[in-house]
Structure 1
Amino acid sequence: MMTLTTPSLRPSFAHDPSLEARLKGLSRLSGVMTFTGFGGIVMLLGPSALADFSEVDLAVTRVPLPIVLVGVFCAGMALRHWVLRRVSQLEQRGWELLLAGRPEAAIGSLEVAVSAGSDRSRIRSHYALTLAWLRQGDYERALALGEETHHLPRRNRDSRVCDAQVPALMATILALYGELEDARKWVGRIRRPMFDETDHALLAQAVMLCREGRDVDAVRRIQRTAREDVPEMDVGAVAVIHAFARSRLEGQLVPLKPGCVLPERPARASQYEYLACEWPELAAFLRGEDAPAPVLDA
């Protein structure tokens, strides 16, 4: 089975409230500096800008006020760039930890990135934080964060995250929770960006089919998608659901389609326990037990 790999990791970032406060404070300071300094640029546009304004004593020399303000503007822009770079590092670190199967360590970095990033970065970090809480098995918190992410302002929006990944993640969480009707509504909100071949709805729909006892349909739905079109963060979970559905076919033959995820029992079942928090049959499968088919309502 293809599983998530563990990259070489740097020391982890714990959630540091002081770091969060510093980054937010520096972000506000950079805004004040650029706003104030912009006045210097306006002054320099005048026909006799330097002659009309007094000079500022900088101890070692005297400099016209517009030049000083332009310097403040440049310093503010440089500070803003540094803050955004730092936030980007925290966001990247969060994703690395998620890929390594360490969601509890990812949460600290992502919470800081959510609070101090730009609009675009905040949306990506919100999505990653939702995914991290799902992988911690905290469906309630993941759902709350997913709703919050869905309603964030769409300035500088990332259409892949806003229109595809967030609705797909909400549908998956609800399906794992057993709320299949609500999950279907979120699947209906998925809008795949142009030229994007990724099958964002795959995991949610496979889970829904399994929870309805339609294991053959679940296997066929998964095998309909080529391996390269499975979302990177879903590969391991899709393989587990594939293996689980095939284990319950009760003699029905569904040939393996070349190029799909491999239907083997996961080597590290504990890595996927979050899928089974509200799903006893899948929990039994992950423990290596033969789980009976669920009893469905008439």
Structure 2
Amino acid sequence: MTTLSNPSFRPPLARGVSLKTWFEALKLLSALLVAIGCGGMALVLWERPPAGSVARPGSAALVLASLFCVGLVLDQWRRWQVGRLEQRGWELLEAGRPEAAIRALDVAASGGTDTSRARSLHGLTVAWLRQGDYERALALSERTARARKGGATALRLAQAPALKATVLALYGELDEARRQVREIQRPLFDRTDYAMLAQAVVLCREGRYVEAVKRMQHSVRQHVPELDVGAVAVVHAFARGRLGGQLVPLKPGCVLPEKPARGSEHEYLALEWPELAAWLRGEEAPAPARGALRCNPG
């Protein structure tokens, strides 16, 4: 099992060569070996011996079969190493190290299966969002949408569109964020509240703090995506601080409001949100300027 304490994989005899280049070369080599072995064996098997002679399998068939097997083994080994990098990237992300996670997930996104590539792109979207690069996060969410074919049902139907909706809401594109939330399709028997963070941000940015607090208390802590819990706690505390004397009882079991310390990992939430930025600095939040949000009237 890959852990944060394990050293990262370094290809042999590849000083100065990036991991991405190494894995791409390995992919081409394994495909070439499989093609040569498979095609060569087909020619040997279909070749007709001269009339009256006995067909004898020669060393060529053995060599071709060996090339075919070596190609398959190399490809499986490459996929296994890519899977380890993907796992390591997610571990780094959960440990609050998005910059290190980006390096691992960027390599993993260039190889592996379609499902692994989609998961890696999703992780990169989260990492760049936490780095405060909204535009790159949006671009990666578009790549995830194109790559999320086949398996990983929860990622395809719920996690990816929910993350894109959150990025759009933080960026101030409220109409687009609402449209993206409507695309979330929670898989059967999945009780995870994928849309909570995006909807709470939209409500707060519209000044509807009572509704935002009630929305964040709608689901219990166990049904909130683990990667969203910290951000939900911060937005919950911000919204409660803006209630202006209106009382909204704290519902048991929900994500508790929590104001982070200065310089925390949640400052990425406020890069395009002046009210939240002022609140995080401990200042009086300015009133939102008319037309400041990227939201169409009505």
Match of 2:55 in 1: 52
2:187 to 173, 193, 207: 193
Deviations 1:186-233 (A, max 9, x none): 111111112211111110000000001111111100101111110111
Matched, 1:180 2:183: no
Runs of 4+ in 1 over 3 A off after TM superposition: 7-14, 38-46, 292-298
**Mapping of residues 166-245 of structure 1, within 5 Å:** 166-245=160-239
Pick which of 205-214 and 65-74 moved more. 65-74
Q: CA separation in 2, counterparts of 1:102 and 1:293? A: 34
TM-score, normalization by structure 2: 0.85
Aligned residues: 281
- C-alpha separation between the residues in 1 aligned to 2:128 and 2:95? 15
Distance in 2 (alpha carbons) for counterparts of 1:18 and 1:223: 46
Aligned residue in 1 for 2:294? none
Residues 268 and 100 from structure 1, CA distance in 2 versus in 1: closer, same or farther, beyond 3 angstroms?
Answer: farther
Q: Counterpart of 2:254 in 1: which secondary structure?
A: coil
Flag structure 1 segments of 5+ consecutive residues without an equivalent: 1-6, 57-64
1:101 aligns with 2:96: yes
2:272 corresponds to: 278
Q: Could you tell me which residue of structure 2 aligns to residue 3 of structure 1?
A: none
Structure 2 counterpart of 1:140, one-letter code: E
1-structure distance, mates of 2:231, 2:25: 39
Contact conserved, 1:219 with 1:246, CA < 8 A, in 2? Answer: yes
1:251 aligns with 2:245: yes
Q: What's the offset of the Cα at 1:77?
A: 1.6
Identical counterparts, % of pairs: 57
Residue in 1 that maps onto 2:34: 34
2:20 corresponds to? 20
Task: Report 1 or 2 for greater relative contact order, CA contacts < 8 Å, sequence distance ≥ 6.
Answer: 1
Report the AA paired with residue 92 of structure 1.
Answer: Q
| TM superposition shift of 1:10 | 4.6
Q: Tell me how large the CA RMSD over aligned residues is.
A: 2.7
- Is residue 137 of structure 2 the alignment partner of residue 142 of structure 1? yes
**Mapped contact 1:12–1:105 kept (Cα < 8 A):** no
**8 A Cα contact 1:227 1:259, kept in partner:** yes
Displacement after TM superposition at 1:275 (Å) = 0.3
Tell me the SS of whatever aligns to 2:190: coil
**Unpaired segments ≥5 residues, structure 2:** 11-15, 292-296
For 2:151 and 2:215, how far apart are their aligned partners in 1?
Answer: 31
